[in-house]
């Protein structure tokens, strides 16, 4: 029971609004010492866990790079680029991103897209620029709606695309759940049957994006 003192450290640290990373580190040290481990042994355990799972932390290295690119004008350059393409509309742009996101997810490249890496710094500003190119300045509620549709395109494409890849965690989860209930299936079978679902998702959401273009045209042209 003494090992649970680490929880108290976390609660007190967060209530005092201390640095979360420092609070969690101290809580881990306190828990280890209370559980009979020496300070050096606790640090060794930290190092071993980080070494064995370092691939999980690599993705966070990308975030500072994205921040630097945004500071250097990444969003402005993306808006300028898409603004020069007269044929680009919000729906067409998001449909193209949907197809690319779903295709790369089907190959297991789920980290190529995402809200932090692609949606916020690139796709959302490009979609907004496409609307501004055709309709001029857009109201804030329309801007928020475009951002929401951009995030939804990423989520739906990833959700229905990743199951086509045989070695994804969701496929293994489904396989394990079915086996617990006496249904034996191979991961390849699950992947194959995910393909029709992915095409249905593409057709349904693609239609929604085309309807989004019509709705934006009707709303914004009426407001001009």
pLDDT digit string (tens) for the chain, length 224 residues: 777 788 888 889 888 888 887 888 888 888 888 888 888 888 888 777 666 655 555 556 666 766 776 676 777 777 777 777 778 899 999 999 999 999 999 998 888 888 888 898 889 988 998 888 888 888 999 999 999 999 999 999 999 999 898 878 778 788 888 888 888 888 888 889 899 999 999 999 999 999 999 999 888 777 66
pLDDT of residue 202: 96
Q: In terms of Cα–Cα distance, which of 193, 121, 187, 183 is closest to 150?
A: 121
pLDDT of residue 148: 94
Whole-angstrom distance, CA of residue 158 vs CA of residue 173: 16
Q: Could you tell me the maximum CA-CA distance found in the chain, to the nearest angstrom?
A: 71
pLDDT of residue 60: 61
For residue 150 the two structure tokens come to 């951009």
pLDDT of residue 54: 55
pLDDT of residue 50: 65
Whole-angstrom distance, CA of residue 146 vs CA of residue 70: 20
Burial of 137 (0-12, 13-18, 19+ CB in 10 A): exposed
For residue 82 the two structure tokens come to 């898409």
């Amino acid at each position: 029971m003494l090992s649970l003192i680490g929880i108290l450290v976390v609660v007190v640290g967060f209530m005092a609004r201390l640095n979360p990373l420092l609070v969690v580190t101290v809580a881990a040290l306190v828990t280890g010492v209370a559980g009979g481990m020496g300070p050096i042994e606790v640090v060794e355990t930290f190092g071993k866990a980080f070494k064995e799972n370092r691939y999980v932390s690599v993705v966070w290295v990308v975030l500072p790079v994205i921040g630097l690119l945004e500071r250097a004008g990444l969003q402005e350059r993306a808006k300028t680029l898409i603004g020069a393409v007269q044929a680009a509309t919000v729906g067409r742009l998001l449909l193209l991103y949907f197809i690319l996101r779903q295709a790369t997810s089907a190959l297991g490249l789920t980290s190529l897209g995402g809200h932090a890496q692609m949606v916020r710094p690139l796709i959302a500003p490009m979609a907004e620029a496409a609307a501004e190119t055709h309709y001029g300045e857009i109201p804030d509620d329309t801007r928020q709606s475009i951002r929401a549709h951009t995030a939804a395109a990423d989520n739906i494409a990833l959700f229905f695309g990743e199951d086509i890849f045989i070695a994804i965690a969701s496929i293994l989860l489904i396989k394990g759940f079915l086996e617990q209930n006496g249904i034996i299936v191979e991961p390849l079978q699950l992947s194959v049957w995910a393909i029709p679902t992915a095409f249905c998702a593409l057709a349904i959401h693609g239609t929604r994006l085309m309807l989004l273009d019509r709705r934006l045209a009707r709303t914004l042209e009426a407001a001009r």
